[in-house]
Amino acid sequence: MNTEELIAHSRSRFDHHQARISVREKYQAKLAFAYRGGLWRAGPELHSMITTCGRTGETVLPDLYDTPVLVDVAELLTQSQERWHEQMTAWLVEYEELNKTR
């Protein structure tokens, strides 16, 4: 076994791991968006809450601060999905750049 190679590989994976965590945290933060005075985090959890609330038109949903907010279901879902896709795409681009750099 080439232990030098193993050590080099292990070190590189360690550094890569921290960089990946850092980039993931960045895009987690960017998922937050404002709508009708409430703060929301785009993602499957919010999409599920919107689609399973059983309403079209307006309804009341709790935001990240557990404040009830009167929302337009279609409008909130659209904004959330757009934010989600935008940030996931940006994350992928930065993730691939990171892989090349390392």
Partner 1 sequence: MTRGVTIFAFNNHQTDYLAMAAWSAQNIHRHLDLPVCVITDIDDATRTANFDQVIVTPSPQVQQHRYFYDYKDSGVWHNMNRSTVYDLSPWDHTLLLDADYVVASDQLRVLFEIDQDFLTHRWALDATGYPPFADNNYFGSYRMPMHWATVISFRKCKTARLIFDSMQMIRDNWDHYRQLYYISEDTYRNDYAMSIAMNIVDGHTLSASAIPWPLISITSLSRLTQVDTDTYRVEYENSNTDNRTKWILLKQRDFHAMGKKTLGEIVANCC
Smallest separation (angstroms) from partner 1 to the CB of 26: 5
Smallest separation (angstroms) from partner 1 to the CB of 97: 9
Smallest separation (angstroms) from partner 1 to the CB of 57: 22
For 61, the enclosing helix (H) or strand (E) is strand 58-62
Residue position matching structure tokens 């601060």? 65
- What 8-state DSSP symbol labels residue 66? S
- For residue 28, which of 64, 60, 62, 52 has the smallest C-alpha distance? 64
Q: Which residues bind partner 1 (CB under 8 A)?
A: 11, 14-15, 18-19, 21-22, 25-26, 28-30, 32-34, 37-39, 41, 63-65, 67, 94
Kindly tell me which of 54 and 79 has the beta carbon lying closer to partner 1: 79
Kindly tell me which of 56 and 66 has the beta carbon lying closer to partner 1: 66
Q: Who contacts 44 (Cβ-Cβ below 8 Å, separation ≥6)? A: none
Are the C-beta atoms of residues 61 and 41 closer than 8 Å to each other?
Answer: no
Kindly tell me which of 50 and 83 has the beta carbon lying closer to partner 1: 83
